C-alpha cells in the first residue's frame, strides 16, 4: 500500500486537563516538550510550527503558533496560526500536513492550549450587533447547552432516546476517563448521580454537559521518509508500524443546512433550488475523511467523537456511520461502544472526562488515536486497534475529522 499521501505522527504529548488557572502558554509548551520527547526530536529540528489559537487569552492567543515558538525559543522556523473554534486543532494539523505533503518541510509541530473561564462560554465583550454569537445571547439567551438540549429533546421524540440513555453515555465515558492520566475527571459516575445533578437545559443535566477546562496537546508530524530514516532500526515502530494520518477533513457544510447550528437563529431554507442535501453536515465531515482514506466505518477499531453533551455522542454514532440513524441508543445499550465492545467510542473518556479546552481538544483527540493505534493506551487500550477516527465540528461551519492508522 502506498503511503505517499500519509504523514507520520512521530510524537504525541499532552499537559493534563484541569482547572489549573495558569497561563495557557505553559500548557502548550509542556505538551510540545512531551510530544518532542515522544518523537525523539529536538526543538531546533522543527521546521514548521502550527498553532491552534485561543480567543480568551489576549493577543498571544490569536497568534498561538508564534507564541509557542517564542516560548520554546525562536529558531527561525516557519509558523502559522489557525482559528476554527472547536475545529482549530485540526485546522492546525491540516496546515502542517499540507506543508509536509507539499514537500516544503519534513518536521512540523502542532500545538494547541487554552485557559478557560468558569461557567458558560460567553461571547466576547462589547456591543456587537452584527455578530450572531453576541446576538444569540442577547436576543434568545441561547447558550451552548441550549442548542445541545434542543438536539437532545429532538432525539427523544424522533428516536425514542431516554434520559437514561444520555446518562449511560456519561457513565461509560467516566469509566474510560478513570483510566486516563490526562483526564480532568477521574472517577466513576453512576446513573443516579447523573440523574440527581441539576438540570441545566432540560432534558440535559449538569453531568450531561461537558465542562470547560485548561489543557494543552501537541503532535510532531513528519514526512513518511523522515520517519523511516529517523526511526531506523527501531523495529517496533518503523516502517508500517508508525502511526500515520490517513485523512484530514476540514469541510464546510453544504447548502442548505437543515439542522439548527450554533450560533444560528434559523436553519437554511430548503424551499429554493437545491432542496434538501443528501448529507447532514456531520455526515459530510466523516464522508470526506472516509473518501480520502479509502476507508469506511467498518474499518474503524475505535473513534473519538465530540461529546459536548451525552446526547451528542449518540448523534455522532449515526453521523459517522457506526449505525443507522435512529439506532444509536440500541448500539449504546448493546455495550458495543464501551471498552471491550465492538467499536469503543471515546476510549479517552471524551469531553465528559476532560471538559473542553477548545484549541487543544481536537489535537488531544488525535493524541488518543495515536496512542491507541500504537498499543500504548494502557488500561484503556482498545484491543488490536489499528485504524481510528476523531471527529468534531467548529462553530460557524468548520468540519474536523482525522483518520489515523498504523
The residue ranges that bind another protein (CB under 8 A) are 119-120, 122-123, 125, 127, 129-130, 132, 134-135, 137-143, 145-146, 149-154, 157, 198-204, 255-256, 258-260, 264-274
- Of the pair 256, 375, the CB lying nearest another protein is at 256
DSSP track, 187-256: S---HHHHHHSPEEETTEEGGGB--B-EEEEEEEEEEHHHHHHHHTT-TTTSGGGS-EEEEEE-PPP-SS
The smaller minimum CB distance to another protein, of residues 80 and 262, is found at 262
Q: With respect to another protein, which residue has the nearer C-beta, 145 or 344?
A: 145
Cell numbers at residue 236, please?
517496533
Q: Which is nearer to another protein, 110 or 210 (CB)?
A: 210
**Which lies closer to another protein via its Cβ, residue 101 or residue 260?**
260
Q: Would you say 65 or 355 has its CB closer to another protein?
A: 355
Q: How far is the CB of 85 from another protein (least distance, A)?
A: 15
- Smallest gap from Cβ 317 to another protein, in A, equals 19
Smallest distance from another protein to CB 123, Å: 7
First-last CA distance in the chain: 12
Q: What is the distance between the alpha carbons of residues 265 and 398, in angstroms, rounded to a whole number?
A: 18
- Most distant CA atoms of the chain, gap in Å: 62
Alpha-carbon distances of 227 from 13, 40, 100, 108, rounded to whole Å: 17, 11, 12, 12
At residue 335, the 3 state secondary structure works out as coil
Residue 354's nearest CA partner among 340, 364, 339 is 364
Nearest distance, CB of residue 46 and another protein, angstroms: 38
Q: Report the alpha-carbon distance of residue 110 to residue 32 in Å, rounded.
A: 8
Smallest distance from another protein to CB 157, Å: 4
Distance of alpha carbon 252 from alpha carbon 91, whole angstroms: 12
In whole angstroms, the minimum distance from the beta carbon of 262 to another protein comes to: 11
Amino acid at each position: 500500500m502506498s503511503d505517499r499521501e500519509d504523514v507520520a505522527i512521530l510524537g504525541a504529548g499532552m499537559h493534563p486537563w484541569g482547572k489549573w488557572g495558569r497561563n495557557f502558554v505553559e500548557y502548550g509548551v509542556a505538551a510540545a516538550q512531551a510530544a518532542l520527547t515522544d518523537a525523539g526530536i529536538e526543538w531546533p529540528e522543527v521546521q514548521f510550527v502550527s498553532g491552534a489559537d485561543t480567543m480568551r487569552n489576549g493577543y498571544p492567543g490569536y497568534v498561538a503558533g508564534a507564541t509557542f515558538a517564542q516560548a520554546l525559543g525562536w529558531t527561525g522556523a516557519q509558523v502559522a496560526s489557525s482559528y476554527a473554534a472547536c475545529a482549530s486543532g485540526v485546522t492546525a494539523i491540516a496546515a502542517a500536513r499540507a506543508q509536509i505533503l507539499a514537500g516544503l518541510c519534513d518536521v512540523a509541530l502542532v500545538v494547541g492550549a487554552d485557559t478557560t473561564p468558569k461557567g458558560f462560554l460567553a461571547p466576547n465583550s462589547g456591543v456587537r450587533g452584527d455578530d450572531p454569537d453576541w446576538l444569540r445571547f442577547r436576543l434568545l439567551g441561547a447558550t451552548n447547552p441550549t442548542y445541545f438540549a434542543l438536539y437532545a429533546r429532538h432525539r427523544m421524540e424522533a428516536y425514542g432516546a431516554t434520559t437514561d440513555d444520555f446518562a449511560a453515555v456519561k457513565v461509560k465515558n467516566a469509566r474510560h476517563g478513570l483510566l486516563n492520566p490526562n483526564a480532568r475527571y477521574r472517577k466513576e459516575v453512576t446513573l443516579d448521580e447523573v440523574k440527581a445533578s441539576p438540570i441545566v437545559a432540560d432534558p440535559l443535566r449538569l453531568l450531561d454537559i461537558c465542562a470547560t477546562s485548561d489543557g494543552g496537546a501537541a503532535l510532531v508530524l513528519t514526512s513518511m521518509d523522515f520517519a523511516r530514516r529517523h526511526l531506523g532500526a527501531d523495529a517496533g515502530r518503523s516502517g508500517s508500524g508508525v502511526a500515520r494520518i490517513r485523512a484530514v477533513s476540514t469541510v464546510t457544510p453544504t447548502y442548505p443546512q437543515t439542522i439548527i447550528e450554533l450560533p444560528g437563529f434559523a436553519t437554511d431554507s430548503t424551499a429554493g433550488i437545491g432542496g434538501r442535501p443528501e448529507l447532514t453536515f456531520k455526515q459530510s465531515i466523516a464522508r470526506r475523511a472516509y473518501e480520502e482514506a479509502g476507508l469506511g466505518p467498518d474499518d474503524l477499531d475505535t473513534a473519538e467523537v465530540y461529546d459536548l453533551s451525552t446526547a451528542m455522542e449518540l448523534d455522532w454514532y449515526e453521523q459517522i456511520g457506526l449505525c443507522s440513524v435512529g439506532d444509536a441508543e440500541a448500539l449504546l445499550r448493546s455495550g458495543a461502544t464501551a471498552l471491550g465492545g465492538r467499536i469503543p467510542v471515546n476510549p479517552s473518556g471524551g469531553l465528559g472526562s476532560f471538559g473542553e479546552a477548545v484549541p487543544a481538544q481536537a489535537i488531544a483527540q488525535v493524541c488518543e488515536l495515536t496512542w491507541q493505534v500504537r498499543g500504548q493506551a494502557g488500561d484503556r487500550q482498545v484491543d488490536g486497534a489499528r485504524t481510528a477516527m476523531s471527529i468534531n465540528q467548529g462553530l460557524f461551519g468548520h468540519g474536523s475529522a482525522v483518520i489515523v492508522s498504523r
